[in-house]
Structure 1
Amino acid sequence: MSDAVRESEIAAEQAYLDRVYTRLDQLRISAAEVEKAGYSLARVGNFGALVERDAMVYHAARRRRALESEHDGLVFGRLDLGPDGVSGADAAAVPPAVPGGEVRYVGRLGLRDETYESLVVDWRAPAAAPFYRATPTDRMGVVRRRSIRSTAEKVVSIEDDLLDPSSAPESMAVIGDGALLANLSRATGRGMKDIVATIQREQDDAIRSPASGVTIVRGGPGTGKTAVALHRAAYLLYADRNRYESGGVLVVGPSEVFVGYVSRVLPSLGEDTASLRSLGQLVEGVHATRHEPPEVAAVKGSLRMQRVLGRAARGPVPDSPDRIRILYRGELLSLDKPALDDLRRTVLNLGVKRNAARAKAAGHVLDALWRQSVELLPSGRQQKREEFAPDIAERPEFIRFMRGWWPVLRPAEVLGWLADRHRLSRWANGVLSNKEIGVLAGSISVGDLSVEDVALLDELHELLGDPPVRKRQPRDPFQVAEGVREVTTYADRMAAARAQAVERPTDYRDYAHIIVDESQDVSPMQWRMIGRRGPHATWTIVGDPAQAAWADAAESGRAMDGAVGTRRRSSFTLTTNYRNSAEIFEVAARVIRRVQPDIELPTAVRSSGVAPVERVVASQELESSVRAAAQSLLDQVEGTVGVITPTSRRDEVAKWVADLAPDRLQTVGALDSKGMEYDGVLVVEPSDIREEAETGFRTLYVALSRATQRLTTVGTRAF
């Protein structure tokens, strides 16, 4: 699809959006005038007029606030229906794209024009259901579904799904990924049309899989795994809104680049229930993008780290006081390090998390000191435990001791302790090898956290717990002032109660459904982290074992089983690659078959007739050759170009091409290319990508399968 067609379609949607916002402004002004008129009723002076004023003003103000609050992203979808989907009542007053059909616009708020013709269908209305529920095998009359993304009042992008290619007229534009299926379906010959039906049926079965349990979707590059995952999120949210709106849906991706991509192509859901997070963003307040070298990642991702971190979290605080001495009634009461260590272990063996056990720890120290006082003092000078404890507990020296011996610990602080090799050797004894201890200790940098560190922080948070906090009383949303509440209806109060029910803490850990994309790259420790976000959740897990960056598949499988539990599982396999041309995918397939000759790969169903370009150049020519190749791809394709590099050279290569069409070109490391898709791809130093890690062949396989139209490789060695 050319840029001219895309811009023309965006302009058409912008014109409609302008019309909608003009009407919105009219309604907002009208609501404000009604609100103002309501206040004038107070001049009548009787009680009935005051009640009527309060009700009129309240409902007018509520309508005005609704019109204002739904301003951004007001319209987010369009349905082009064929003749079998026509209802008439909810049709927008625009010419239908399908002869005999109609158009519906879906948005956050229902709006009608001055003649009561529909402008926007409220996303909660039955007429909007096809936007969420229609699929290629149950189209509900929809030929084309369009997602509209806007900022303020400006349309910035559109994305189409062609659900019924056979009913789409030749003149119908299809923008985005949907254009691939459109082109396939419009090809001559029965074979291509059969392939389109196969793709749609495979994806639809996975999208509509039962919500309960675990849905596992496997498929190679270009089979639409991510599209299935995101459409499944939309389907579940609409099919069981109460359950998933209150509990929430979490979508986890491998990288920030991937999450940014998904946030642009995810069909707008009309509310903020779906949360998008990368593996480096799952811990509140942490935003990590840096990846560790493979040898470090292998240690930090292993389940063995659970034991190392457990020992660190239960051990003595470095540089903490190793004894307490208090003068009491002429006798010196003291506890030495062995006694204090015994007390620490006793408290932690009670099952209370460390940060929540400070009061218990203080109580055990006071008990030990009191027993010592009973042994040292004659009976006439002894105090009862309930008298002794407050006396000692209020002393400055005891308070200072407790602050040093049992402080509130932060996960990042404990993680930082692992940088001390001597200390780490004690905690990792019998768990990690000497080489692994050295690698781990040298990688700890709390000021520069890696993606792999995030799972360790979450594990430490689980071990340490939160310090006790005082609960706050919930705020009354209808309280205007002390003793004064707004006039409300039963419906208002129920709506407020539902809103409070879905208000979540910043570190939310009880999602109703979790979607994990590129699951083959999730390390065992990361599986533990994700599992804590949904102890009662249902799951959708999407991945491709052939692309796995985690070498120990068995360990990762055990960790995944631990996260999802024993829930019933439904498995689906996608077999058709509709992203890559056959020429491009043959290059990627050749790489992965070197290490897995018997692997089952998806079938690339279209041929472009354009062979990938492979260039081997001298090292001194690499920079200029990369620039030339990137510019050539920008000239050859109308859409996006991805420059994929060895992870260690991403920043270097990015500088080489920084001034080449920054709005269309993106430079990513090989690991961050997972899940991405570009019209043209330039892979830099493919041999280095292959050798970066034990799983380098798989990473290179991923990089070579990101392109939809053109693929070029430039390196100093053949791959």
Structure 2
Amino acid sequence: MVNEPNSPRDEEEKRLLVVLEQVGRRMRKELSLLGDRREDVVGIRQEFWDDVRMNFSDSTEVGETWSSIVQQAELLAERERSHRVASEAVERLTKQFDSPYFARIDFAEKDSGTEVIYIGRASLVGEDGETFFVYDWRAPVSSLFYDHEPGPATYRVPDGRMEGELKLKRQFVIRGGQMKHMFDTSETVGDEILQAVLSEGSDTSMKSIVATIQKEQNWIIRNEKHKLLVVQGAAGSGKTSAALQRIAYLLYRFRETLGPDQIILFSPNPVFKGYISRVLPDLGEANMKQMTFRELIEARLGRRFEVEDLFSQTEALVAAEGTAEGEARERSVRYKGSEHFFITVENYLKRLEQEGVRFRPLRFRSMTLVSAEEMSQQFYGIRAADGFGTRAAGVRRWLLERIKLWVDSQMDEQWLEEAAELVDGEEIQRAYVDVRRRGGFHDEAFDDEDQMSARLRRRVAEQAVAPLVKAVRSFRFLDAVSTYRELFESRSLFSSCSPDGVQPVGWEWMLQRAELTMGRKVIDHEDATPLMYVLEALEGFRRVEGDIQHVFVDEAQDYSPFQAAYLRRRYPRARLTVLGDFNQAIYIQSQESGGFGGWTRLMAPEATSVLRLTTSYRSTEPIVRYTKLILPAADAADITPFQRDGEAPRLFPCKDGGQLGERIAEDIIGLLGRGYGTIGVITKTAYETGNASALLKEQLPDDVPVTLVTGGSAELPKGVSVLPAYLAKGIEFDAVLVWDASLAKYGKEKDRKLLYTVCTRALHVLHIYHTGEASPWLPSEK
């Protein structure tokens, strides 16, 4: 169809050419600057030492030489910084040339004329420094696009609110500098644009959603009022995307005082870490710190203990299902993730202020330098009001002094004489240098040999006790494991700390399990966080990271009250943004704590905001309606599908595992032929993934990549991924093929949310395979 002269489309295309010319002009300038800076950097590196005046004849010349080196190094660093800035500018402009903006709003401020505003991923300012061709999506005025339809509208600025009328809202799809689509809309974000974006195929990394942010997501992104923001969202409602855009917004809004190293995001697994790693760089921001809670545990306990992770715990529980041991372990996991146990441990810590902290004696070979009883007396000799941290630090200073005094007492002991005679030449040289520094080895000195011998013995003694000194400095004299175990070893102690005086069912089994595992320096996952909490409390939470200003926690419904409380104590000055879905609480550790565990009680109600996202955008409407039926009706009531059509989910019965593998392989070939780039074959457990991937590799052609995704995987590959359910959290695939959703695999009530989580990973296609009888939670095909 030919555009009419001066039609809105024609005018917008003309305007796009003007903007692209601006981008191109800036690009040429930055490329020229980049080339110059590259030549400068290469030249300075090549000529670095030629331009440095080297002279070591005396102290003055050494100082001048050092100044010359520093000067050249600073020049090189400045040129490298300039090169990096120019390189980042070229990368940003390249993206702008592809798609400089995605929206236009016409806003008439009260008592003022109408201003035409174009919104994109990054701002574009003219060479005069005043003309805005494009506004950054995070600018205050840009919130009008996300929050309002045409009509009266306001937006917040640092010193108040601006009022006026939104006269026009227009959206664009621009790719490769070409205008593909243009829509005028009366909605906050038009359905046409949203459907176009959602209909695209998935990728191996999450995409930015700045062009399709919904009003409720924008509220999350720009919220600056609350210290604790809790987002309960349906599967596919954009929780994680909104959180990442929130990080980008915060870095933009507080650019002078907030850096990416002051923000940390806790991801559910390493695969997810890689999946979201491109969002912030695509928006021109450096990535925040990112880690899993497992990595935090490993950093704190991993050097001293073998610590079970959450995935291994899950596999162990599945393997022991139906046995007395399995049921006892499951009770233990549920209880140790409960609010009741958290309060019990908190009460126990209050008791420990008066008595009960266990200590490790300080031993050297067969000698006890300081007994545990002496340490306890010293610890409790410091007033309780000073807190655990001050007490522990006081004992540490006292122990270091005791070690020093002990070393002094050993100077004439036989073991030290013998050890000093065996030292090598290098150690003798060090002793010689020490004596020389103290004024020895000159004509008036008569006791040089004695000094040398004494210094050698002291060095040997200090080296011998160096491991003890290191252990003391690291607070290893505190026996957190024995202190924690004591809570289970004394029935009366546990009852007195329990908030209702009641011991949990299976308390005796928990005691036996603690003796069995901790005695071998093995820590069950359900014990890791409570143990770490006790350990950090005794040390006064000395490893708190006060420089972190924002903590984001994804899949927060899977955290126990201990994990929530521990993070709050570790990052005491940080604002918290936690995101999750009650219906995806798949781990037993958090199923007794109401979905979000202890999150909502971490801060005062007036500092806390809880928001629900109910619209599911990820999957097609038929998939959302199908997966809602997996859940109890009350839990699914608020989930609303976005109106995007697609094929209905399908259920495929198979006679055995062999046929299941054959039919899934045939399905994969068909789906790849239809253009689906990412296909997830999702099993219940990691054990099943090995069998599934082996069967599929036998059935599929060699040119079809099949990747077994494990807990150690850092990236999600293109093609076919075979992975267990718990690694699929937060990730999406063009097509999901559920491996054996049978009664035997997903027959219990606790499997219901797991099956829901698996099925909601699908964007466009959901095919469910099973052997024998299907899971009772699966809706029947109609």
**Which TM bucket (shorter chain)?**
0.5 to 0.7
Counterpart of 1:666, as a letter, is S
Alignment partner, residue 652 of structure 2? 614
CA distance in 2, matches of 1:129, 1:411: 58
CA distance in structure 2 between the aligned counterparts of 1:639 and 1:19, rounded to whole angstroms: 38
- Correspondence 1:711 to 2:766: yes
Q: What does 1:165-314 correspond to in 2, within 5 Å?
A: 165-166=171-172, 182=193, 184=195, 200-245=214-259, 248-268=262-282, 270=284, 272=286, 274-283=288-297, 285=299, 290-293=311-314, 295=330, 297-303=333-339, 304=341, 307=344
For residues 509-524 of structure 1, the aligned pairs below 5 Å read 509-524=546-561
Q: Judge conservation of contact 1:592–1:698 (CA < 8 Å) in 2.
A: yes
Name the aligned partner's letter for residue 563 of structure 1.
Answer: L
Q: Decide whether aligned partners of structure 1 residues 268 and 697 sit closer, same or farther in structure 2, where only a CA change above 3 A counts.
A: same
Q: Distance in 1 between matches of 2:44 and 2:383?
A: 64
TM-score by length of structure 1 reads 0.62
Equivalent position of 1:591 in the other structure: 630
Deviation at 1:708, TM superposition (A): 0.5
**What residue is the counterpart of 1:644 in the other structure?**
682
How far has the Cα of 1:535 moved from its partner?
1.5
Note the C-alpha offset of 1:243.
3.4
**Secondary structure of 1:526's aligned partner:** helix
Distance 1:362 1:606, change over 3 A: closer
Whole-angstrom distance in 2 between the partners of 1:696 and 1:389: 56
Q: Is the 8 A contact 2:120 2:136 kept in 1?
A: no
Deviates more, 1:289-298 or 1:219-228: 289-298
CA–CA separation in structure 2 for the residues paired with 1:409 and 1:688: 51
Partner of 1:683: 738
1:195-594 mapped onto 2 (5 Å cutoff): 200-245=214-259, 248-268=262-282, 270=284, 272=286, 274-283=288-297, 285=299, 290-293=311-314, 295=330, 297-303=333-339, 304=341, 307=344, 320=361, 349=384, 352-353=387-388, 357=392, 360=395, 395=409, 414-415=480-481, 431-432=503-504, 433-438=507-512, 455-456=529-530, 458-465=532-539, 508-549=545-586, 552=591, 554=593, 559-566=598-605, 568-593=607-632
Change (3 A) 1:131 1:446: farther
1:279 maps to a residue whose letter is F
Q: Which moved more, 1:240-249 or 1:223-232?
A: 240-249
Sort the Cα spacing of 1:511 and 1:711 in 2 relative to 1 into closer, same or farther, 3 A: same
- Is the contact between residue 678 and residue 733 of structure 2 (CA under 8 Å) also seen in structure 1? yes
Name the CA shift for 1:273/1:352 in 2 (closer, same or farther; >3 Å).
farther
Q: Does 1:602 align with 2:640?
A: yes
Secondary structure class of the residue paired with 2:767: strand
Change (3 A) 1:647 1:675: same
Tell me which amino acid in the other structure corresponds to 1:182: I
1:447-473, CA deviations, whole angstroms, 9 ceiling, x for partnerless residues? 8877656534641441342899xxxxx
SS at match of 2:629: helix
1:519 Cα shift?
Answer: 1.8
1:62 CA drift (Å): 4.2
In 1: Cα distance, 2:541 partner to 2:28 partner? 52
1:539 alignment partner AA: L
* Equivalent residues of 2:685, 2:724 under 8 A apart: yes
Per-residue deviation, 1:601 = 1.6
- Does the Cα contact within 8 Å between 2:123 and 2:132 map onto a contact in 1? no
* Cα distance in structure 2, aligned partners of 1:570 and 1:529: 20
Residue-by-residue CA offset, 1:642-677 (whole Å, 9 max, x unaligned): 122113535423444467424322223222222111
Is structure 2 residue 724 aligned with structure 1 residue 669?
yes
The structure-2 alpha-carbon separation of the partners of 1:450 and 1:683, relative to structure 1 and needing over 3 Å to count, comes to farther
SS of residue paired to 2:630: helix
Q: Between Structure 1 and Structure 2, how many residues are aligned?
A: 570
SS at match of 1:64: helix
Hey, what's the Cα distance between the residues in 2 that align with 1:272 and 1:363?
45
- 1:212, distance to aligned residue in structure 2 (A): 3.9
Q: Distance in 2 between matches of 1:315 and 1:349?
A: 13
CA deviations 1:97-128 (Å, max 9, x no partner) are xxx99999889xx9xxxxx999xx9xxx9988
The letter of the residue matching 1:253 is S
Judged with a 3 Å threshold, the aligned counterparts in structure 2 of structure 1 residues 307 and 70 are, in CA distance, closer, same or farther, namely: farther
Aligned to 1:130: 136
The aligned counterpart of 1:9 is none
Q: Indicate yes or no: 2:26 matched with 1:26.
A: no
Question: How far 1:704 moved relative to its partner?
Answer: 0.8
Q: Is the 8 A contact 2:647 2:764 kept in 1?
A: no
Deviation at 1:421, TM superposition (A): 12
Q: What is the SS of the residue equivalent to 1:638?
A: coil
Task: Give the Cα–Cα distance (whole angstroms) in 2 for the partners of residues 267 and 628 of structure 1.
Answer: 38
| Counterparts of residues 68-147 of structure 1 (less than 5 Å) | 77=92, 78-79=95-96, 80-81=99-100, 130=136, 132-133=138-139, 138=144
CA contact (8 A) 1:679 1:707 kept: yes
Could you tell me how far apart the structure 2 residues matched to 1:315 and 1:622 are? 58
Check whether the contact 1:218–1:572 (CA below 8 A) recurs between aligned residues. yes
Does the C-alpha gap of structure 1 residues 510 and 240 become closer, same or farther in structure 2, counting only changes over 3 Å? same
> Secondary structure of 1:580's match?
coil
CA distance in 2, matches of 1:423, 1:348: 27
Contact 2:230 2:609 in 1 (8 A): yes
Deviations 1:464-522 (A, max 9, x none): 42899xxxxxxxxxxxxxxxxxxxxxxxxxxxxxxxxxxxx9x7354211222222222
Output the CA distance in 2 between the equivalents of 1:320 and 1:204: 57
Instruction: Report whether the alignment pairs 1:61 with 2:135.
Output: no
Question: CA RMSD for the aligned pairs?
Answer: 5.9
1:127 and 1:39 map into 2 onto residues whose CA distance is 47
Q: Which amino acid aligns with 2:617?
A: Y
Would the alpha carbon gap of residues 394 and 61 (structure 1) be closer, same or farther in structure 2, given more than 3 Å must change? closer
AA aligned opposite 1:521 = D
Runs of 5+ in structure 1 lacking a partner? 1-12, 43-49, 87-99, 111-115, 141-162, 189-195, 328-332, 367-387, 469-504
**Residue 412 of structure 1 contacts residue 457 of structure 1 at CA under 8 Å; is this kept in 2?**
no
2:728 & 2:567 partners in 1: Cα distance?
Answer: 21
Query: Conserved in 1, the CA contact under 8 Å of 2:310 and 2:525?
Result: yes
Q: Distance in 2 between matches of 1:126 and 1:282?
A: 44
Q: How many angstroms apart in 2 are the aligned matches of 1:24 and 1:289?
A: 48
**Contact 2:681 2:736 survives alignment (8 Å):** yes
Instruction: Judge conservation of contact 2:138–2:252 (CA < 8 Å) in 1.
Output: yes
* Amino-acid identity (%): 20
CA, structure 1 residues 614+413, in 2 after alignment: closer, same or farther (shift >3 Å)? farther
CA distance in 1, matches of 2:561, 2:49: 62
1:241 counterpart SS class: coil
Q: Counterparts of 1:38-57 in structure 2 under 5 Å?
A: none
Contact 1:106 1:128 (8 Å CA) reproduced? yes
Sort the Cα spacing of 1:58 and 1:263 in 2 relative to 1 into closer, same or farther, 3 A. Answer: closer
TM-score by length of 2: 0.58
1:701: how far off?
Answer: 0.9
Question: For 2:770 and 2:636, how far apart are their aligned partners in 1?
Answer: 28
